[in-house]
Structure 1
Amino acid sequence: MPAIVLFDGECNFCDASVQFIIKRDPKGYFQFAAQQSDIGETFKREYAVPDTLDSILVIDQHKVYNSSDAALQISKHLNGLWSYLYVLKVIPKPIRNVVYKFIAKNRYAWFGKKDSCMIPPPEIRNRFL
């Protein structure tokens, strides 16, 4: 069963992150859905994700990862040296999440925001739910 990445579909940084993952995940381990989409909302309800959580989410093997745990779970399955970033898991979660939350809090100011979610090109459309 593929893992699912739920991302902020209005965030330019998040969109670029999805493109980054796709390029480094040629086996298609990850599928994607915008959190604002119907399917994204359904997953959030199904896994009891609080509306106040401002984080990328990864659902992998029926477990939900958020914040730095989600980013590391993604890195674990990427090609190349990116998979080695998973060793950062040894850093205590509160410390990792300080960095993650700083980036998440400033992502719109630094990278901008879209009016709507992107429409994936045909060659990767099957990876989007």
Structure 2
Amino acid sequence: MRWIVFFDGDCAFCSSSTRLLARLDWHDRVRLSPLQGELAKSKGLAMHEDPADDTMVVFRESDGQAFYHSSGWLELMRVLGFPFNLALVLKVVPRPWLDALYRWIARNRYRWFGKADHCSLPEEAVVRRLL
């Protein structure tokens, strides 16, 4: 089974997070695509490219299910497997609280980490996963 992580290609934090994700995806289950790209539009996810909205959408190809906000992050931790799936213990925290934390980080990501004003050459592990 394969998952696609749609990320904000204009966000420095999101871009560096995708590089980290590519290194941590030991089972080669995840592919990457910017929310501003054609694939996101074809999957009906273009509305999430607005910086005021999501920063990441995890899309499961087998059934077309999309995971947003903290659910997307938790699904990604599950997909990565041990030890990352230990984060699933956070499911005991009410989802509105996790989503509020996720949205707070999303709202402040440009202020804290900046915007990607240039395209850095991605690592080979990232290039291999880009769709």
Which 5+ residue runs of structure 2 have no aligned equivalent?
none
Match of 2:117 among 98, 115, 118: 115
For this pair of structures, how many residues does the alignment match? Answer: 127
CA distance in 1, matches of 2:27, 2:66: 21
Distance 2:69 2:119 in 1: 21
Offset from partner CA, 1:24-75 (integer Å, 9 cap, x none): 11221100000011112222x2x68566632310011321000000001111
1:22/1:50 CA distance change after superposition, 3 Å: closer
RMSD, matched Cα = 2.1
Q: What 5-or-longer segments of structure 1 have no aligned partner?
A: none
After TM superposition, the structure 1 = structure 2 runs for residues 1-129 of structure 1, keeping only pairs within 5 Å, are 1-43=1-43, 45=44, 53-60=53-60, 61=62, 62-115=64-117, 118-129=120-131
Contact between 1:10 and 1:117, CA under 8 Å: does it hold in 2? no
Q: CA deviation at 1:20?
A: 1.7
TM-score computed with the length of structure 2 as normaliser:
0.84
| SS of residue paired to 1:58 | strand
Q: Read off the aligned partner of 2:4 and give its amino acid letter.
A: I
Runs of 4+ residues over 4 Å off in structure 1: 47-52, 116-119
- 8 Å CA contact retained: 1:58, 1:70: yes
Q: C-alpha separation between the residues in 1 aligned to 2:116 and 2:35?
A: 14
Does the aligned pair in 2 maintain the 1:9–1:118 contact within 8 Å?
no
Identity of aligned residues (%): 31
Aligned-partner Cα distance in 2 for 1:67–1:79: 19
Q: Distance in 1 between matches of 2:20 and 2:124?
A: 17
Q: Distance in 2 between matches of 1:66 and 1:20?
A: 20
Alignment TM-score, normalising by the size of structure 1: 0.85
Report the CA distance between 1:116 and its aligned residue. 5.1
3-state secondary structure, aligned to 1:126:
helix
The one-character-per-residue Cα deviations of 1:10-35 (angstroms, maximum 9, x if unpaired) are 11111121112111112211000000
Q: Tell me the amino acid that sits aligned with residue 2 of structure 1.
A: R
